[in-house]
């Protein structure tokens, strides 16, 4: 925003200076041209070398002042850019560009460690990658039971999508070659939940075939695609990562007492009650593909949906 205002000011001032400097000369030339075209005799002006020299010097002085002001404004814009980068981080210049998801890992880790000192960035990133792979595998196998842990709305949405493939007798095949980049983009702590967004840049093949004939219906099986995704995870605010005192243990359902066999939404498969325990990792809350023309806010740390600079 600072850069945009500065550039707008620079352009406005430049136009103003041109408007101030140019009119006199343009007026004289246009008047002489007009009279000449009408056949009128233009009385030549008496030579006044001293006055003409003063006018010439005056014009030169105005242009020098213009050049100095233009240079000064350019310097100010440059310094404001530097100040904005210092305030908002080294990626500040990129934050308005389409398709750019800024890496805010350091800031987010600082905020997370304030309430959960055992949060491990590498473990979470690996978990995010595994969730993505598991999700794509479930689609390739058209197996709902293979879906990763996710909130109920997401679970129902993916069940519907897989069911549509089964109904149409089609298979969406995904082969992941590599996940080149992975980092944290946004963390939002609300009264009830914590939301953590991870960016993934994936090299993969992705195509759709007809179930019986294996005919390719969509995309090229030999084309390696570079796709960008944003995965949003959610957990209860009271949940912490396992520690030496807080370990992952076998859990029984608090309602029916059965060994906790958990489905994709964290429900007991015997009585369908929701099992809330600190032993569970983050649930997938949303997944979004990032297109080349998609624009995203800079991300970072949010408290109750309001961004804070506290952890920078």
Give per-residue pLDDT as tens, 253-280. 656 665 545 555 556 666 666 554 444 5
What is the pLDDT, as a whole number, of residue 39? Answer: 54
- What are the Cα distances from residue 261, in Å, to 88, 253, 273, 279? 45, 8, 11, 13
CB-CB neighbours of 182 under 10 Å = 21
Q: Give every CB contact of residue 147 below 8 A, 6+ residues apart in sequence.
A: 134, 135, 138, 155, 158, 159, 264
Residue that wins the pLDDT comparison between 37 and 227: 227
Examine the pLDDT at 33 and tell me if it is beyond 70: no
**pLDDT bucket at 249, cuts 50 / 70 / 90:** very low
The two three-digit tokens of residue 230, written as one number:
């944003």
Architecture of domain 101-239+280-308: Roll (3.10)
pLDDT at 11: 66
Is the CB of residue 202 less than 8 Å from the CB of residue 224? Answer: no
pLDDT tens-digit readout, 47-59 = 555 555 555 556 5
> Cβ distance 77 to 2 under 8 Å?
no
Rounded to a whole number, what is the distance in angstroms from the first to the last CA of the chain? 19
Q: How far apart are CA 175 and CA 127, in angstroms?
A: 18
Q: How far is Cα 278 from Cα 281, in angstroms, rounded to an integer?
A: 8
Average pLDDT of the residues in 71-83: 67
* Residues whose CB falls within 8 Å of the CB of residue 261, separated by 6 or more in sequence, listed in order: 268, 269, 270
User: Residue 207 phi/psi, 5° resolution?
Assistant: -150, 165
The full set of domain ranges for the chain reads 2-88, 101-239+280-308
Predicted local confidence at residue 72, as pLDDT: 75
Per-residue model confidence (pLDDT) at position 273: 61
Q: Which residues are registered as beta bridge partners of 262?
A: 268
Least confident of 66-75, 197-206, 254-263, 300-309: 254-263
Cβ atoms within 10 Å, residue 148:
20
Mean pLDDT on 98-114: 90
% of the chain at pLDDT higher than 90: 39
CA distance 52 to 58: 10
CA dist 184 and 311 (Å) reads: 14
Q: Which tens digits make up the pLDDT trace of 166-182? A: 999 999 999 999 998 99
What is the pLDDT of the chain when averaged over all its residues?
76
Angle at alpha carbon of residue 281, lines to 235 and 182, rounded to 5°: 95
């Amino acid at each position: 925003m600072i850069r945009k205002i500065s550039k707008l000011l620079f352009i406005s001032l430049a136009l103003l200076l041109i408007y101030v400097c140019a009119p006199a000369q343009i007026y004289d030339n246009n008047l002489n041209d007009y009279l000449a075209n009408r056949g009128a005799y233009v009385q030549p002006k008496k030579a006044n070398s001293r006055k003409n020299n003063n006018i010439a010097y005056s014009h030169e002085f105005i242009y020098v002042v213009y050049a100095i002001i233009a240079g000064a404004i350019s310097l100010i814009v440059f310094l404001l850019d530097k100040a904005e980068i210092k305030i908002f981080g080294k990626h500040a210049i990129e934050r308005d560009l389409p398709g750019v998801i800024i890496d805010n890992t350091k800031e987010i880790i600082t905020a997370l460690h304030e309430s959960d000192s055992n949060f491990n960035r590498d473990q979470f990133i690996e978990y995010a990658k595994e969730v993505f792979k598991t999700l794509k595998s479930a689609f390739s196998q058209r197996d709902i039971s293979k879906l990763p842990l996710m909130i109920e709305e997401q679970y129902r949405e993916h069940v519907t999508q897989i069911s549509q493939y089964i109904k149409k007798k089609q298979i969406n095949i995904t082969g992941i070659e590599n996940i080149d980049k992975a980092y944290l983009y946004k963390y939002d702590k609300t009264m009830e939940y914590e939301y953590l967004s991870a960016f993934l840049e994936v090299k993969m093949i992705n195509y759709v075939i007809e179930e019986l004939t294996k005919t390719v219906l969509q995309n090229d099986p030999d084309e390696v695609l570079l796709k960008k995704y944003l995965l949003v995870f959610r957990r209860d605010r009271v949940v912490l990562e396992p520690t030496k005192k807080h370990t992952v243990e076998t859990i029984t359902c608090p309602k029916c007492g059965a060994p906790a066999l958990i489905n994709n939404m964290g429900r007991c498969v015997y009585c369908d009650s929701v099992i809330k325990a600190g032993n569970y990792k983050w649930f997938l809350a949303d997944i979004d593909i990032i297109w080349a023309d998609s624009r995203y806010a800079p991300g970072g740390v949010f408290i109750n949906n309001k961004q804070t600079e506290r952890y920078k």
